[in-house]
Homo-oligomer: A and B are copies of this chain.
Amino acid sequence: MTTEFDRLRDADLPSVRAEIRAGRYAGHTAGLGRGHLQANIVILPEAQALDFMRFCQRNPKPCPLVGVSDTGDPMMHTLGRDIDIRSDVPAYNIYRHGRLEGSAPDIRDLWTDDMVAFALGCSFTFEHALMQAGIPLWHVENDTTVPMFRTNIDCAPAGAFRSRMVVSMRAVDPSRLTEAERISRRYPLAHGAPIHHGAPDEIGITDITRPDWGDPMPLAEGQVPVFWACGVTPQVAIEAAAPPLCITHKPGHMLITDIPEDCETPVLTPAE
């Protein structure tokens, strides 16, 4: 049986985007549009936009900003030739006053003239690079969601946006640890180098078998738990700020941009 995901996996980027825009694909985007930068999405009223943008600037490891729309303009001009943020994400979460109200396949009916859309880099980029280097990722091989944890590390606040840093955990063989750090450091727009390894309690994680989000992951004998800053952090900050309306992507259901994953800067240039 060929699923819709299987069919899209080998499709080119315009075809994938067309299927998502038409509402014919509402699944996760891991492995789709190969080689292109994928992004977490946060949409807020302009009244909250400057503070949220400051929060991202001050916390670039969990919140690497890769694109921002003009106020009221749903087209993400610097991220692609034809990206409409109201329809080009497979599934959206809708928050009112900081609480998840529900999900939607598009947000055409919610978009207004005072909205600003933010795109933040995600971990797919460095995960691809790790796997290409032959560093296995258990959660990918076992088709589970990476385990994520609240830490005791304070983010730099901005206005009402404040949060402890959330991290994702991957198990790495000690012989590959330096290489894993070096590879991920190359991708500052995808959380960069890990923020910690080895001693979860030092960053406030008391039980690595019980993640706050995602699925548990076994740690094989001798493997080191490695922690990267995670894109769930801004979601916690949004819950704290409790803006009247906030729309995000549904976890795992990212925006696929036109930007090459190994770009120096995430901005479309006339030559591309």
Interface residues of A (CB under 8 A from B): 46, 49-50, 53-54, 57-61, 65, 67-68, 70-71, 77-78, 116, 154, 156, 158-159, 185, 188, 192-193, 264-265, 267, 270
Contact A185 B264 (CB under 8 A): yes
Contact B70 A188 (CB under 8 A): no
Determine the distance from Cα of A272 to Cα of B28 in the docked complex, in whole angstroms. Answer: 39
Interface centre among A59, A67, A159, A267 (most CB of B within 10 A): A267
Q: How far does the Cβ of A241 sit from chain B's closest Cβ, in whole Å?
A: 14
Residue of B whose beta carbon sits closest to that of A58: B78
Residue of B whose beta carbon sits closest to that of A265: B60
Contact B78 A188 (CB under 8 A): no
Oligomer: number of copies: 2
Contact A158 B70 (CB under 8 A): yes
Contact A267 B192 (CB under 8 A): no
Determine the distance from Cα of A95 to Cα of B142 in the docked complex, in whole angstroms. Answer: 59
Q: Which residues of B contact A156 (CB under 8 A)?
A: 77-78, 267
Determine the distance from Cα of A270 to Cα of B71 in the docked complex, in whole angstroms. Answer: 35
Interface centre among A49, A70, A185, A192 (most CB of B within 10 A): A70
Residue of B whose beta carbon sits closest to that of A50: B50
6 closest A-B pairs by beta carbon, nearest first, are A50-B50, A60-B265, A58-B78, A54-B68, A57-B68, A78-B156
Contact B192 A265 (CB under 8 A): yes
Q: 5 more A-B contacts (CB under 8 A) besides A58-B78, A59-B267, A70-B159?
A: A50-B53, A58-B267, A70-B158, A154-B270, A156-B267
